[in-house]
Structure 1
Amino acid sequence: MANCARCKEKLGFLSTGNYCDKCTAENAIKETEDAQNAVELNRLKKEEQERRSKAEALERTNRINAILLTTETAPNLNITKRIEIVTAECAFGMNIFKDLFAGVRDIVGGRSKAVQQTMRDARRTALYELKAEAHLVGANAVVGVDLDYVDLGSSGSMVMLVASGTAVIIED
C-alpha cells in the first residue's frame, strides 16, 4: 500500500492520486487561495501601473506647460533667447452625422455645436502639440502664435489646423 506524499498516512485501496483525502482538500484550498492572491496581486499591479501612468502624464503636461502669446512681446516677459520657429498640425475629420447636420445648418442657418466642438478640440490639440514642440527644443514659451484653418477635401469633411510660432526662452 502506498503512503500520502504529504503526510505519509497510508492510502486506502480506493484512493486515487498521491494524497490522502485530507491533504487533497488542503491542497485544493491552498490552490484556491493562491489563485485569489494572484488575481488580487494582478489587480494591485494594474492599479499601480495606471496611477503611475496618470502621474507621468500629468508631469509631462506640467513640463510642457509653456506660455503662449499671439504677440511678439509682452511688458512683463523678458525674452532672453529666440530658438526657432515651431509648428503643429492637426487634421480632424467630421463624421457623417456631423456633416449631415452641418449641411442642414447651412440651409436653415444657426450654429452647429458639433462642428464648433470639433474646432475647439482641434485648437486645444494643436496648441498642446505646439507647446510640446517648443519643449523639445528647450523653450519655455512660444510667441507670435498664429492659427490657420485649412479645409481638406471638397466635401469639407476634414479640417486641418496649423499652429505656428517662435519658440523662445523667457526669464522666470
Structure 2
Amino acid sequence: MANCSRCGKKFGMLESGYGGLCAQCHYLNTIETGSPVIQQQHQERVERDLAIEAVMLTTETQAQDLQIQERISIVTAECAYGMHVFKDLFATVRNIVGGRSEAVQKTMRDARETVLYELKREAHAVGANAVVGVDLDYTQIGETGWTMVMLVASGTAVRIEE
C-alpha cells in the first residue's frame, strides 16, 4: 500500500498509475492543471449537477404557492435492487420472530434516494425545474430465493416561477 502525496490517503496497486496520487487527487489535479477545455468541462458538470439537485420534487398535484408556468412532460425513473441472499435470510427470520430488518430498510432507502435523483435528472433533461404529483411504487420481482425490488417514481415535469 502507498500513501497519496497530496491527501495522505492509502491506496492499493490498482490506483498506482497516477504518479503517487490516489484516483480522486489525480482527478482534482487534472482539473486544476489541465487545459482550459478540461476546466470548462468540469465547471459545466458542476453547474449541471447543481441544477439537477435544485429540481424541486413534491407529491402535491395542486400546491397553492407554486405558480406553474408550463407543464412539460411526464417523467419516470426506475431502480431495481437485488436483495442479497443473507439480507433475505435475516429478513425472513425477522419476519417470523418480529422486528425490523435494518439491512432491508437501508436497501429501500438507497433505492428511494437513487430513483428520486434519477427523476430530478430526467426532469432537468426536459427543461423542468420541478416535478409535481410524484408517486413512488414498489414492486417485488421474483419468487422466494431470488428477490428483486423495483421502485418506480413518476410525476409531471413542470417549469415553476422561481
Same fold (TM over 0.5): yes
Residue 54 of structure 1 and its aligned partner are, at CA, apart by 8.3
Q: Structure 1 residue 61: deviation in Å?
A: 2.6
| Structure 1 segments (4+ residues) deviating >3 Å | 38-47, 49-60
SS in 1 for 2:47: helix
Q: Give the percent of matched residue pairs that are identical in Structure 1 and Structure 2.
A: 59
RMSD of Structure 2 on Structure 1 (CA): 2.9
1:61 aligns with 2:42: no
Query: What residue identity is the alignment partner of 1:63?
Result: A
1:161 aligns with 2:151: yes
CA distance in 2, matches of 1:108, 1:100: 13
Q: 1:42 to 1:92 in 2, by over 3 A?
A: closer
Which residue, out of 53, 59, 69, partners 1:70? Answer: 59
Going from structure 1 to structure 2, the CA distance change for 1:150 and 1:108 (only over 3 Å counts) comes to: same
User: Unpaired runs of 5+ in structure 2?
Assistant: 1-17, 33-38
Letter aligned with residue 52 of structure 2? I
Superposition pairs of residues 17-166 of structure 1, within 5 angstroms: 39=19, 46-49=27-30, 58-65=46-53, 66-155=55-144, 157-166=147-156
Which is further off, 112-121 or 42-51? Answer: 42-51
Please report how far the alpha carbon of residue 56 of structure 1 lies from its aligned counterpart in structure 2 after TM superposition. 6.4
1:39 shift after superposition: 3.8
C-alpha distance in structure 2 between counterparts of 1:165 and 1:42, whole Å:
40
TM-score, with structure 1 as normaliser: 0.69
Classify 1:42/1:152 alpha carbon distance in 2 versus 1 (closer, same or farther; 3 Å).
closer
Report the TM-score when normalising by structure 2: 0.73
**How far is 1:60 from its partner?**
3.2
How many residue pairs get aligned? The number is 135
Looking at CA atoms only, which structure, 1 or 2, has the larger radius of gyration?
1
Give the aligned partner of residue 19 of structure 1.
none
Partners of 2:73 and 2:137 in 1: CA distance: 19
Q: Distance in 2 between matches of 1:74 and 1:88?
A: 23
CA displacement, residues 82-129 of structure 1 (integer Å, 9 cap, x when unaligned): 001000000001111101100101110100000000000000000000
Q: Distance in 1 between matches of 2:151 and 2:121?
A: 16
Distance 1:107 1:140, change over 3 A: same
Structure 1: segments with no counterpart, 5+ residues: 1-37
- SS of alignment partner, residue 150 of structure 2: strand
